[in-house]
Structure formats: C-alpha cells, structure tokens
Structure 1
Amino acid sequence: MTEQNQRLGIALMMLATVIFAIQDAVSRYLASEYNVYLIIMIRYWFFAAFVITLASRRPGGLRATARTRQPLVQGARGLLLVMQICTIVYGFTQLGLIESHAVLACSPLLVAALSGPVLGERVGWRRWSAIGIGFIGVLIILQPGVGALQPLAVIPLIAALLFALYGLLTRYAARADSAATSFFWTGVVGAVGITLVGVWHWEPMAPRDWLWMGMLCLTGVSGHFTLIKCYEVAEASAVQPFAYLQLVFISALGVLIFEEAIRPNVAAGVVIVVSAGLFTLWRERRAA
C-alpha cells in the first residue's frame, strides 16, 4: 500500500464518518416523529436497490454475486444488522445521539472479546487488559445506580452486542465469500426482514419529512459507497482508527441541533473506551 493510497483511504474514512453522522442525526429526527420500523424499512428499500444495482454490474451479474456456500451465515448477518440499526435508532430517541454512540463505541471491544470463542482467534493478555479497561470506561459512561436514565442504557448496549456479532459473522463469511457477496446479502436480507415487520407500521408522512427521508436514503448509500472505496485503496487496519471520529461529529450535531449535553462522565468514559479500542486495533494489526 502506497503512502498516497493510505492518505486517500484516511480521507475517505473521515468523509464516511461525516456522512454517517448526518445519517444518524436525520434518523433521530424521523424516528422521533414516526415509527422506527417504518423509517428503517424505507431506508432499506433504497439500500437494497443500491446493492442490487452494484451486483448487476459486476462480472457474472446478480447470480454470480449472490452465490454463496453459507446462506445461513449470510442471512444471519443481514438480520443482525437490521436489528442493530432498529435498536440504535430507537436508542437515539430515548437517550440522544451522544450517549447512544458513547455506549456503542464499545463494539470493537466486544468483537475482540468474542473473537476467541466464536472464531477461534487468539486473544493475548494485552488485548484482554485493554478490553477490561474499556468496559470500565463503559461503566463510567453508564454510572450504574445513578439517576433514572440508566435502565435505558441497555438499548445501545444491546445494539453494540448485535453489531459485534454482525462483525464476527462478517469475518467468518469472508473466509469463503467475497466482500461484494456479503454486501449483497446484507442489503437484500435486511430489506426483506424489515419489510415483514415495517409494513404493519405504515403511516402517512408529511411532505417535508419525505425530503428528510430522501436525505436519509442518500446518506446511507453514499456513506456505504465511500466506505467501499476507502477499503479498496487502503488496508482496513490503517484506516479503522479514524472511524472513531464519528463520535466527534455526532457530538457536534447532538449539541448544536438537538441541544444535547455532554456529561463529564460520558466524556471521560469515551476517552477510555476509544483508547482501549485503538489499542486492540493496534494489537490486531501487529498480530496480523
């Protein structure tokens, strides 16, 4: 990988975090006005159309891209991701963007912790130490037993666990399938799954909110497209640390648009969680 490609990859990752932060802000607004399943269903329809279009342009077309020897794994991945998105967007409406993402930041630590028993990967004592320290940071964010807000913190914790399981199955699927095949199954299975639920929650949407819905769909597709291009030009281990910048952009949007507050314990906990996450990424890169 050339230095130029690495710089381009970092720039694309930073752009993707900005796009995804805007997407989450729009999701928070729409989900506070309409049913979460409805919002995610429409978003996934657009996403599915995007992945089908990409697949049809690949060599061999749709049939070649969709071909997999592990349909159950791919199906489980797609369902896990759509469940995770529904859970975290609901969390936005209950906890806000900042606190939801603060807890969600522990997902890489969960991936590291579960990669041993699930994938058979070796996790050394240094990474286990970082994982333990990271979860101390999560406890600082949650402040167990303090205030009435804490039971709601289970929502982003569940979302973090779902995203970690999705990440682990993605790693497992990558042993036999291409990234294009996994991406195709993610969009199509997710769209089918959420439609079976969301269609029962249909409700009329105000004309101006259809504009916001359009922005949600466009940011979702452009964010994923930017991420794909990022991983095409640079190694994941080189650009992944910059994904944490989404916390910065989310915090700015939460404060400026939704008048959320950054509590001192949340800021301190995020620093600990992100530091632990960066260390685990570094150790994984060295081990690789």
Structure 2
Amino acid sequence: MTQVSTMQGQTNNVAIGVMLMIGATVVFALQDGISRHLAGTYNTAMVLMVRYWFFAAFVVFLALRAPGGIRATARTDQLGLQIFRGVLLAAEVGVAVYGFTILGLIESQAVFICYPLLVAALSGPVLGESVGWRRWMAIGLGLIGVMIILQPGAAVFNPAAVIPFLSALMFAVYGLLTRYVARRDSTATSFFWTGIAGAVVTTSVGLWSWEPMLGGDWLWMGVLCVFGVLGHWLLIKCYEMAEASAVQPFAYFHLIWAALLGVWVFGEVIRDNVAIGAVIILAAGLFTLWRERAKG
C-alpha cells in the first residue's frame, strides 16, 4: 500500500471515506495476489518495472492536467528527499512482492500490518513528535505479536519471515518522509516524484532481468497496472472525503482480503501463531491510531 497525505479542500464525509478506504483495500489485496502470481513465474524486478512504467505515465498525465503543468507540479526545494522517497517505496514494493513468493500472502501481510506501530515509534527521532508511554506500550505489544508470528526461538523458524518485517520498516520510513516533505510540498508534487523516481530506479534494474511473457500473463500485468492506479485514486479520494484518523483503522481490512485470497486462490493455511500474532498487532495498531486521534 502507498500512503497519501491529506489533500487541500478536504471535506469530512466519514461514511463515504470509509467505503473508499475499504474499496482501496480490496484493490490492493487483489494487486498483491496478481503480483504474487506474476513474480512467482517471472523476475520480480521486471514485474515491478512494468508496473512503475504505468504508474509514471499516470502521474505525468495528472501533472499535465494540473494548473501550471509538469513544471509547477514537479517544483520542489526538497528534490533529493523526494527522489529518495520514491526509490525507497519502489524498493519496499519489491521486497514485499518477493516476500509473497517466499511466504505467501497471509504470513507476509500478518507481519506487514505492524507498520503503523513502526511509524509511531520512529515519529520521535524522524519528525520530532512526542510519543507517550501508552503508545510505547502499544508498540511493544505489537512487536510481541510480530515475534509470535516469526517464532524466532522455534526450531522451525524460517529466516525468510524477516522479509515482510523489513518491508514494513521501509514503508514506515517512507510514510514518515512523506509527512516530512508535506510540510513544504503539495500532495501532487510528492505523488509525481514517487512515480518518476520509482520508474527510473526500477527500469535501471528491471531491464537487465527482462524475459518474454506469455500472452495471458500480459493480461494479468495490465490488470495489475490498472489496479495500481485505481488503488492510488481511491486512497486519494478517501483522504479528500474524510480525516485520516477516521478512516485509517479500516486499512486493516487489507489483511482480511489478503487472507481470503491466500486460502481460496493459493491454498495457503492460517497457522495458529500467525492468527494470534495478527490479532495482537491489530489491537495494538488500533489503540495507537485511537491515541493519535485523541491527542489531535
């Protein structure tokens, strides 16, 4: 998933915002499933590259339609930071998709949902925000949930289970940097550089991994690209319609849809420790979001 800052001109229609957020989680879960299918057959870097080509074309299209065109949209005095954000998100998506092929959707998403807790933990050193003892307790509880899923002391521990945690950490840093650059840049500018920087870095890596695709898989690739754009659009509209604190808890529906896809389409099994750990992480994450809303 991609975080998008609250846009100017925001209304506060929570009901529509919630529906848009749930719609976005459905699209992102389907996107994850298609990514797992394609990356299980073709090189992950190539799949990511084609996906970002479409993403870049989308942000350029939006910039051309915006007042002032591409020049106004791309203008920023934080260019290095904007490029780093875009590269970091592209790398995070690559790590996440690779994790799907190794661990499956269920276990990957069960660990990944700890990213709001990582955002809360890192908001102090990165953004200078205050993190109270209640949120620190929630962060610690959430990390206990991650440990239950990973089972680091068990004889069956799979080191690859660390992959989705790395993805969550990268996404948390990306989210914090998005909040940081939003202090001086518009959402349109950040969105533009997310697509452009990601397309450049994925192309520089993915071209070396190019391989022919079957006709049917090109259809899946096209659906993946469309879903990527649709998911971003739903998320943008969601944050236009309602405050982030009101709709963010519903982002956890992503885990539910991913679990359903994992079981019904890919034949995955929900292990007891994964279910227990996921519930703990969900509870800790929802408490953290509630505390942020209460403080706000």
Normalising by the smaller structure, the TM-score range is over 0.9
Map residues 128-207 of structure 1 onto 2, 5 A cutoff. 128-207=136-215
Secondary structure of the 1:33 match is coil
User: Which of 275, 279, 282 is the aligned partner of 1:271?
Assistant: 279
Is residue 123 from structure 1 mapped to residue 131 from structure 2 by the alignment?
yes
Aligned equivalent of 1:87, options 95, 110, 117: 95
Q: 2:50 aligns to what?
A: 42
CA displacement at 1:148 relative to structure 2:
3.8
- Equivalent-residue separation in structure 2 for 1:166 and 1:65 (angstroms): 20
1:17 aligns with 2:39: no
1:114 aligned partner: 122
| Aligned residue in 2 for 1:230 | 238
Rounded Cα–Cα distance in structure 2 between residues aligned with 1:144 and 1:226? 37
Distance 2:229 2:154 in 1: 39
Deviation at 1:163? Answer: 0.4
What letter corresponds to residue 276 of structure 1 in structure 2?
A
SS of alignment partner, residue 49 of structure 2: helix
Write the distance in 1 (CA, Å) between the matches of 2:188 and 2:92: 21
Once the two structures are TM-superposed, the CA of residue 286 in structure 1 deviates from its matched residue by 1.6
**Paired residue for 1:28, among 36, 40, 43?**
36
**Residue in 2 that maps onto 1:208:** 216
Contact in 1 for aligned 2:11/2:241 (Cα 8 Å) = no
- Work out the CA distance in 1 between the residues paired with 2:64 and 2:123: 33
Mapped to 2, the partners of 1:31 and 1:220 lie a distance apart of 16
**Counterpart secondary structure, 1:240:** helix
Provide the C-alpha distance between the structure 1 equivalents of 2:103 and 2:156, rounded to a whole number of angstroms: 12
AA partner of residue 25 (structure 1): G
**Structure 2 stretches of 5 or more lacking a match?**
1-9
* CA distances 1:175-229 after superposition (whole Å, capped 9, x unpaired): 0001111000000000001100001000000011001101110110111111111
d(CA) in 1 for partners of 2:210 and 2:156? 32
Give, as a single letter, the amino acid of the residue that structure 1 aligns with 2:20: L
TM-score normalized by the length of structure 1: 0.98
Partner Cα separation in structure 1 for residue 84 and residue 169 of structure 2: 14
Cα distance change on mapping 1:176 and 1:33 into 2, 3 Å? same
Distance 1:147 1:173 in 2: 44
1:101, 1:151 → 2: CA distance?
16
State the 1:153 CA deviation. 0.8
For residues 130-185 of structure 1, give each alpha carbon's deviation from its aligned partner in whole angstroms, at most 9, with x where no partner exists: 00011011111111132445201111111111101100100100100011110000
Q: Distance in 2 between matches of 1:48 and 1:2?
A: 28
Deviation string for 1:264-283 (max 9, x for gaps)?
Answer: 11011101001101111111
Q: Match for 2:291: what amino acid?
A: R
Q: Are 2:67 and 1:56 aligned?
A: no
Deviation at 1:55, TM superposition (A): 1.2
Deviations 1:47-95 (A, max 9, x none): 0000110111111111111101101110110011000000000000000
Gap runs ≥5 in structure 1: none
1:285 to partner: Cα distance: 1.4
Give the number of aligned pairs.
287
> Which residue matches 2:253?
245
CA RMSD across the alignment:
1.0
Structure 1 partner of 2:262: 254
Distance 1:148 1:45 in 2: 40
Give the counterpart letter for 1:212 in structure 2.
W
- Larger deviation: 96-105 or 143-152? 143-152
The answer to whether structure 1 residue 98 and structure 2 residue 116 are counterparts is no
User: 2:40 is paired with a residue of what secondary structure?
Assistant: helix
